[in-house]
Structure 1
Amino acid sequence: MSVILPAASTSSPLGSSTPTPTPARGRWRGFLSGAREIDDAALQVQGRLPDWLRGGLLLNGPALWDLPRGSYRHWFDGLAMLHRIEFAPEAAPRYRSRFARSQDYLESIAAGAPAYSAFDTRDPETLLQRLRHFGKPRSTDNPAVVMSRVGAQWIATTESPHLLAFDPLSLASEGRLEFDDGLGIQIMGAHGITDAEGNYWNVGITLGPKCIYKLFRLRPGGHRRELVGSVRVAKAGYTHAFAMTPGHALIWETALRAQPLGFLFTGRSYIENFRWDPAHGSVLHAVSLADGSVRSWDIPPMLAFHPVQAYQDGADLVAELCCFDDAGIIDALQLTRLRAGEPLGQMPRLRRYRLRQGHGEALVEDFGGGLDLPQVHPERFGRARAGICWGSGLDAAGASRFFDRTLRLDLERREQRSWQRPDAIQLEPLFVPRPGGTEEDDGVLLVPTLADADDTTRIGVVDAHSMECLALVQAPQVIPFGFHAAWAG
């Protein structure tokens, strides 16, 4: 696996020349630029941390939306910052943060404005400049969404086919991984899956008159993505993630469908190259890991970012997904709306899709609304059926303006417990199992939160069974709202 090192790092870009971002108050400050790179800071703890909790909480997400000569439009657009909170026995937790030195970051900081097209920010290149790479459009490598591993190598990703390597201790960027396989992937799911052997799996899409989903595996130390199976469709759906069982990869073809010519020949933003197409419904595809064969089931039109899990149940395959009934969530997450504290107005719904042999349509079971950014025990995801999940929650009756609680859901009994800080936003809860624990919920949740009265971010340390908050860890700054976390034990 070859690594291309970036140019020498620059200093933190925020300074007196940076314009003041759109005002925001209270909990909505998490959508503002302003986070600093901090090398090492001791953190204050209110409450008691478990004696067994040792390792690093890694956080990823956009942190810089406003540059001197231009700004980004959408929550998903901002330049990525990585954070680490180190937990050690008999010592205060410690914090550091670093901007990811992607090529996009380096060029955007140098230009003082966005240098690449982003999720909802258009390409700044002129038509003549785009013609220089005709048919092979540039894509951002700003890795502001997910952190994964290829063997022991940590990587950060977005929805482009680029993997940015980084050191999980120092958070220093180590360059982009480069491949010589010729898979021809233009876009890719942000959520890859690392199996027990350290192989990295993901789904990329090749755009054209017909679009092709390509399930691939990248082995530790390798530089060739191995094609395991493919699905040819008229227009690929927006693909943020996929799910796995021990024998299959499950790919959901959402009703938000790609317009391939837009990607290839225009300067539109990433999401402007999709159209909501409910008339053709949605589809769930199961790709066999053994031989690449594909089976497909029709489902009602939907948009889904995240799976809870997938598993085999007798002869059936089952996928549990957090779904939206339309694409309205995309516009709801624009920065102007979020910074103003406007109600989200969109409700994710947990649905169980049962894929039966000999049937062309899936059976759909609705669990109700209010949960996304889901987690299950890491030893269950992709390997065995989980009975408990956790996630960020909304009031199902519509009273929440944004994710404001942490939920625990028993997937069989449908019993729900929650933890909620008053007047706060609560993001994805990362489940950390207790070493030696035998119960599925024996561990803690680490939950980034920001309340109206907080001066900086608080990380909730929550008992994953009782949902009792054991401690709050105070960060040295407001950590801009990101999406996903990882545990580096």
Structure 2
Amino acid sequence: MAAVLERPESKPRVEPALPGRLRGFQSGAREIDDAPMRVHGTLPGWLRGRLLLNGPALWELPKGQYEHWFDGLAMLHGIAINGGAGTARYRSRFQHSEDYLRSIALGAPALGAFDTPKHDRWFTRVISPRNTDNGAVVMARIGEDWISMTETPMVTEFDAATLTTIGRVRFEDDLHIDLMAAHGFTDADGNWWNVGIQLGPKSVYRLFRVAAGTRRREPRGEIRVAQAGYLHAFARSERHALVWECALRAQPLSLRFSGKPYIRAFKWDAGGGSMLHAISLDDGSVRSWALPPIFCFHAVQAWEQGDEILVELITYEDASVVDDLRLQPLRNCAPQQVLPQLVRYRLRPGHSDALPELVAAGVELPQVHPARIGAGAATCMWGSGLDPERRATFLDRTVRLDLRSGERRVWQRPNAVQLEPLFVPRPGSAVEDDGVLLVPTLADGDTGGMIGVLDARSLEGLAMLEAPQVIPFGFHAAFEPAAQSF
């Protein structure tokens, strides 16, 4: 039997009891140590490694609760896959961040969150402001060290094999960063790149790099703006970092002093439009292009074509998606009001405006072959899809999209939620879609979370991995190949 770690701090107040696939938005996940998973179907023999999942898992506490899907206290899930033996094993651990420890001790959200207000006093916010380090969004590597993060500068290291929290990463520099993209990039040499924002009367976006084996953030370029936009990610082409400036703009005084939830200290400014900035990786120089007002979480990719730069973004016409993803409407099956659009922007020298082209609609959480990031254009992508007729109220399909022809292939479980499809390439293959997709999913009748294993080209279902509990709905995943993890 699986060893369930019965720790007092891991027992939430669970409410409400949600039906069917909506259980993924419910607190109650347990810490489980090394449990076997049932394997339905046949795993590819070459698939060996550890699937790492991250996301919120605890929204209700005895004296208070979080308000948004993005807010819950983070849990890591590790799935060790041995395709040759046809086996998989599961474990889970809460991230023991400072926010987690304080919130569990208080019995209520201690440091505030994306859409949950802070509970500290005004004097504390002035003298000693605290940001959450609840790294529920993304996992990445600095060299061989695994880290998790959200949209603050606080980064937490963890052990990928045991999921144990190692502790806060202490950067050895004086770089001033108030906000930071959740999505950085780890390059082929193990260096980690990211973008942070220094807020003030004039705000500054700062591109930085942390070299493998170090803890020093090296500035590589900056952009000065009147008001910074909401920052979740950035893109990278062969020679540039591409930073989009959303029309949802930060109000620095409100972020510092008001005690409002993080996202409520931003204001939609359609009249100010949006911008796309290209920072040269060679010399830090910046070129900028104007866009209509957009809201954007994720990029598909960026690449260079002659003297032009092309960027593909998943955009929204406004920021109403933030409200659509609050817990109450999600738990009540309210449909998402605005569908995402995949837009390709052409950035031309000598022009001040980006030239947009609509590529597709209704897809989010995009993936391309990791070797294509910063190395030329990918020709296909994968993502989670929304029903364009809104008959389903949440992500309910896995999509493969040909970025040249627009051909779309779909894999769909009946009455299920399907989250980000993580692409794992077949070792040694140079073919762009030769590999598998690992898709977290939950259907109405499932007893535990299910991980779909799909052929990445055809979207044929190869296997399903059944977890010993419902895995709460998270956002992003990572894969550690067996040479490192076993």
The two structures share one fold, judged by TM-score above 0.5: yes
Would you say how many aligned residue pairs link Structure 1 and Structure 2?
Answer: 476
Aligned to 1:5: none
| Distance in 2 of aligned mates of 1:193 and 1:159 | 15
**Could you tell me how far apart the structure 1 residues matched to 2:466 and 2:6 are?**
28
The amino acid of 1:322's aligned partner reads: I
Q: Distance in 2 between matches of 1:312 and 1:462?
A: 31
Residue in 2 that maps onto 1:124: 119
Match of 1:295 in 2: 287
Q: 1:136-183, CA deviations, whole angstroms, 9 ceiling, x for partnerless residues? A: x21000000000000111100000001100111001111111123211
Tell me the residue number matched to 1:66. Answer: 60
Spell out, residue by residue over 1:262-303, the C-alpha distance to the aligned partner (whole angstroms, 9 max, x if none).
112221111011011111110000000111100000011111
Specify the alignment match of 2:457 in structure 1: 465
Partner of 2:31: 37
- Structure 1 equivalent of residue 251 of structure 2: 259
Q: 1:220 aligns with which of 201, 205, 212?
A: 212
Query: Contact conserved, 1:375 with 1:391, CA < 8 A, in 2?
Result: yes
Query: 1:19 Cα shift?
Result: 2.9
Which residue number in structure 2 is paired with residue 236 of structure 1?
228
Letter matched to residue 250 of structure 1: L
Q: Hey, what's the Cα distance between the residues in 1 that align with 2:460 and 2:339?
A: 26
Q: Residue 191 in 1 paired to residue 186 in 2?
A: no
276-285 or 120-129, larger mean C-alpha shift: 120-129
Following superposition, the deviation at residue 91 of structure 1 comes to: 4.6
1:19 paired to 2:21: no
**151, 159, 163: which is aligned to 2:151?**
159
Q: CA deviation at 1:192?
A: 0.7
Separation (CA, whole Å) in 2 of partners of 1:23 and 1:403: 21
Q: From 105, 116, 134, give the equivalent of 2:100.
A: 105
Correspondence 1:353-368 to 2 at 5 A: 353-368=345-360
Matched, 1:325 2:317: yes
Q: What is the CA distance between 1:382 and its match in structure 2?
A: 2.1
Q: Distance in 2 between matches of 1:285 and 1:43?
A: 46
Taking the aligned partners of 1:111 and 1:348, their CA distance within structure 2 comes to: 38
- Two-structure CA RMSD over aligned residues (Å): 1.2
Once the two structures are TM-superposed, the CA of residue 75 in structure 1 deviates from its matched residue by 0.3
Q: Distance in 2 between matches of 1:474 and 1:127?
A: 47
- How far apart, CA to CA, are the structure 2 residues paired with 1:435 and 1:195? 18
Deviation at 1:14, TM superposition (A): 3.7
Three-state SS of the structure 1 residue aligned to 2:477 is: strand
Residue 131 of structure 1 aligns to which amino acid in structure 2? V
| One-letter code aligned to 1:290 | D
Classify the secondary structure of the residue corresponding to 1:347. coil
Tell me the TM-score normalized by structure 1: 0.96
User: What 5-or-longer segments of structure 1 have no aligned partner?
Assistant: 1-8
Which sections of structure 2, spanning at least 5 residues, go unmatched?
Answer: 482-486
Paired residues of 2:248 and 2:268 also in contact (CA < 8 A): yes
Q: Note if contact 1:12-1:36 (Cα within 8 Å) is conserved in structure 2.
A: no
1:201 aligns with 2:196: no
Match in the other structure for 2:74: 80
Distance in 2 separating the partners of 1:219 and 1:249: 17
1:245, 1:310 within 8 Å by CA — same for their partners in 2? yes
Tell me which amino acid in the other structure corresponds to 1:188. Answer: M
Q: Output the CA distance in 1 between the equivalents of 2:13 and 2:454.
A: 38
* SS in structure 2 of the partner of residue 323 of structure 1: strand
Residue 404 of structure 1 and its aligned partner are, at CA, apart by 0.2
Structure 1 CA distance for aligned equivalents of residues 387 and 311 of structure 2: 24
What is the rounded CA distance, in whole Å, between the counterparts of 1:207 and 1:10 in structure 2?
43
Amino acid at match of 2:422: L
Give the partner amino acid of 2:60. Answer: D
SS in 2 for 1:13: helix
Query: Which sits farther off after the overlay, 89-98 or 224-233?
Result: 89-98
Partner Cα separation in structure 1 for residue 306 and residue 6 of structure 2: 55
Which residue, 420, 423, 428 being the options, matches 1:428? 420
Q: Does 1:388 align with 2:380?
A: yes
Report the Cα offset of residue 10 of structure 1.
Answer: 10
The CA distance in 2 between the partners of 1:346 and 1:24, in whole Å, is 25
Tell me, in whole angstroms, the C-alpha distance in 1 between the residues paired with 2:303 and 2:388. Answer: 27
Please tell me whether the aligned partners of residues 69 and 112 of structure 1 are also in contact (alpha carbons under 8 angstroms).
yes
- More moved, 389-398 vs 77-86: 389-398
Partner of 1:311: 303
Q: C-alpha distance in 2, partners of 1:230/1:263?
A: 21
Distance 2:240 2:441 in 1: 36
Deviation at residue 245 of structure 1 after TM alignment: 1.1
Runs of at least 4 residues off by over 6 Å: none
What amino acid sits opposite 2:155 in the alignment?
L
AA partner of residue 13 (structure 1): E
Q: Which residue of 2 aligns with 1:52?
A: 46
Question: Structure 2 CA distance, aligned partners of 1:69 and 1:14?
Answer: 15
Structure 2 CA distance for aligned equivalents of residues 397 and 209 of structure 1 = 44
Q: TM-score, normalised by structure 2?
A: 0.96
Q: What is the CA-CA distance between 1:12 and the residue it aligns to?
A: 5.5
CA contact (8 A) 1:24 1:340 kept: no
Q: Could you say what secondary structure the match of 1:178 adopts?
A: coil
Preserved contact between residue 244 and residue 276 of structure 2 (Cα < 8 Å): yes
Q: Following TM superposition, by how much is the alpha carbon of 1:345 offset from its aligned partner in structure 2, in angstroms?
A: 2.0
Cα deviation digits, residues 119-146 of structure 1 (max 9, x gap): 001111022332332xxx2100000000
More displaced stretch, 243-252 vs 341-350 = 341-350
Counterpart CA distance in 2 for 1:384 and 1:64 is: 40
Which residue number corresponds to residue 269 of structure 1?
261
In 2, Cα distance between equivalents of 1:353 and 1:215: 21
Any conservation in 1 of the 2:35–2:91 contact (CA below 8 Å)?
yes
* 1:448-459 equivalence runs, <5 A: 448-459=440-451
Instruction: Out of 83-92 and 18-27, give the one that drifted further.
Output: 18-27
- Who is 1:6 aligned against? none
